[in-house]
Amino acid sequence: MTRQPPGTADRAEEAVPGAVDAPSWTTVFGTELLRLRRGFPFWYSILMPAALILPLGIITVFSPEAQAGRAWQTWLQVVLMFWGVLLPMSAALYAGVAERQDDDARRLLYTYAFSRGRLLIGKFLALTALSLASSILLVLLLTLMGAGFGRMQDLPTIVAGALLPWAAFLGSLALCLLIANVWGFTATMCTGVAGMMFGALLADKVVWWVIPLAWPMRMVVPLAGIEASGVPLPDEHPLHDLTVLPAGAGLSLALAAVLLAVGARYVNRKEL
């Protein structure tokens, strides 16, 4: 029979009561991202930019504006408009599907001795990374199209038009993630549908700043030079004002931080 060094058993007994499961933020983020790569959120992040570019481009080619020699400008405006309108629904799809597909695994992880809020924030960060990759893919595709039309001078508009609405979308993502945890999948999808309506109807109104779901489209309005309905703005229209861009992005980040804190507190107190 193998003899253990003196004190080994005593140290083992002492280690068990004080043992705490405490995965690092890197581990939580990596695990959540790995799970998301195997399901709908990953494919949605890839297919959405392509689905915006190709069908809308074909429609634009046959539009009166294209016949008048404004094919590229119209294409860019229409793509950015639908990008801004669809981002609230994207937030709902990301949050709702991610929560639903991980339901069993999440119940198991909630039994471990570490803050459940860490899992919520890790999921938010993973969804943020996926949505950022989708935004960068949109930038690359639009840049290729712009190069084909000889309009590389529009690169700043392309980059800002894809990334600033994404920054304004983070507040909606945190909101949808909280709703998915509190009320479930159906309520989250309803929020996304309402967000598309708010973006299309209210993003160019003075009340835009009190409606987080309208913030992504509000970023698009001055960058693309269009109303929320897609109608081009006159040259001297006040909606061309770019000062709303830092305000919208800042509001979104502040709201995301507050909602994640509320969500973390909720899941920490939630009964299994």
Among 6-10, 18-22, 187-191, which stretch is predicted with the lowest mean pLDDT? 6-10
177, part of any domain? yes
**Does a structural domain hold residue 19?**
no
pLDDT band at 229 (very low <50, low <70, confident <90, very high): confident
List the domain range (segments joined by +) for residue 126. Answer: 25-269
Residue 12 lies in a domain: no
What's residue 106's pLDDT? 64
Report CA dihedral (19, 20, 25, 26) to the nearest 10 degrees.
Answer: 30
Q: What is the pLDDT of residue 76?
A: 92
CB 182 within 8 A of CB 266: yes
Tell me what pLDDT residue 61 has: 73
**Count of structural domains, the chain:** 1
The model's confidence at residue 267, banded by pLDDT at 50, 70 and 90, is confident
What is d(CA 43, CA 249) in angstroms, rounded to the nearest whole number?
26
Q: Are 31 and 122 in contact (CB under 8 A)?
A: yes
CB burial of 199-232 (b: ≥16 within 10 Å; e: otherwise) equals bbebbbeeebeebbbbbbbbbbbbbbbbbbeeee
Determine, yes or no, domain membership for 54: yes
Please give the pLDDT value at position 16: 42
Does the residue 15 lie in any domain? Answer: no
Mean pLDDT across the chain, nearest whole number?
86
Question: What is the average per-residue pLDDT within 161-186?
Answer: 96
Residue type, 65: E
5 within some domain: no
Q: Would you place residue 103 in the very low, low, confident or very high pLDDT band (cuts 50, 70, 90)?
A: low
* pLDDT tens digit sequence for 24-78: 878 889 888 988 887 899 999 999 999 998 887 777 777 777 767 788 888 999 9
Inside any domain, residue 179: yes
Q: Which amino acid is at 189?
A: M
Split at pLDDT 50, 70, 90, the class of 21 is: low
Question: How far is the C-alpha of 269 from the C-alpha of 272, rounded, in Å?
Answer: 9
Question: Does the residue 108 lie in any domain?
Answer: yes
